Amino acid sequence: TQLLEQSPQFLSIQEGENLTVYCNSSSVFSSLQWYRQEPGEGPVLLVTVVTGGEVKKLKRLTFQFGDARKDSSLHITAAQPGDTGLYLCAGDPQAAGNKLTFGGGTRVLVKP
Amino acid sequence: DVKVTQSSRYLVKRTGEKVFLECVQDMDHENMFWYRQDPGLGLRLIYFSYDVKMKEKGDIPEGYSVSREKKERFSLILESASTNQTSMYLCASRGLLYRTDTQYFGPGTRLTVL
């Protein structure tokens, strides 16, 4: 079974600070997706990274896929209270099938 | 706007009851999934289906069954609900063509079994 480890599990910061969330595995993934989930809602896709070394920016969010496609990071610059939520990474294994492997999630709290 | 809808947002049932959770997607997706989400345990796959009438067990299928009679609808059934099945249940769907296809989630059903 391929596993994705997310760290940290919980992050509490002040508005305006930066934060980074990590998603690591010993397995290779053909693509990796990042989701944000707000309380009482389902996860919503933020970005998909496909190529090793790829960097994608979404306003104040920067996503990076490791060169070996085993790890990824999400960096938020100047965090705002609206960034509060559960961040999930999900990897698409190289093997056939359409099941994503999810990390355990990082709960982010941005205090005003 | 793409949509995955779940029949209930909140549900309270008694131990031993049969529970049906319904999920409908409007994107003509082949793949549909049922997860449960518990604090500290993340998202765990219960069952998934890659076509009508096809199903495969996920990581935690015990105590659950599923039904997919139509492409757009995927039902999760708890034959005899137990208190340890109290959880948030999330349905999702995903296309088949591309590995980068987005997986869309429904809003979730918070089930409490008393």
Task: Please report, for the domain that includes residue B41, its CATH number.
Answer: 2.60.40.10
Q: pLDDT tens string for chain A (112 positions)?
A: 568 899 999 999 999 999 999 999 988 988 899 999 998 899 999 999 989 999 999 999 999 999 999 999 999 999 999 999 999 999 988 655 678 889 999 999 999 9
Q: Please count the structural domains in chain A.
A: 1
Backbone angles phi, psi at B83, to 5 degrees: -60, -30
Residue written as token pair 């999900």: A90
- A39 vs B: CB within 8 A: no
**Each residue's pLDDT tens digit, B13-49:** 999 999 999 999 998 888 999 999 998 788 999 999 9
- Å from B6 to nearest chain A CA? 11
Task: Please report, for the domain that includes residue A22, its CATH number.
Answer: 2.60.40.10
Scored b (16 or more CB within 10 A) or e, B23-58 reads bbbeeebbbbbbbbbeeeebbebbbbbbeeeebeeb
Predicted pLDDT at A9: 93
Which residues, other chains included, contact B98 with Cβ-Cβ below 8 Å and sequence gap of 6+?
none
Q: Please count the structural domains in chain B.
A: 1
- Å from B80 to nearest chain A CA? 25
- B42 vs A: CB within 8 A: yes
> Greater confidence, A81 or B95?
A81
What are the angstrom distances between the C-alpha of A6 and each of A10, A92, B51? 10, 16, 31
Domain carrying residue A41:
5-111
Domain carrying residue B74:
4-96+104-113
Instruction: State the CB neighbour count (10 A cutoff) for residue A44.
Output: 14
Nearest CA-CA partner of B46 in B88, B12, B100, B14:
B88
- A33 vs B: CB within 8 A: yes
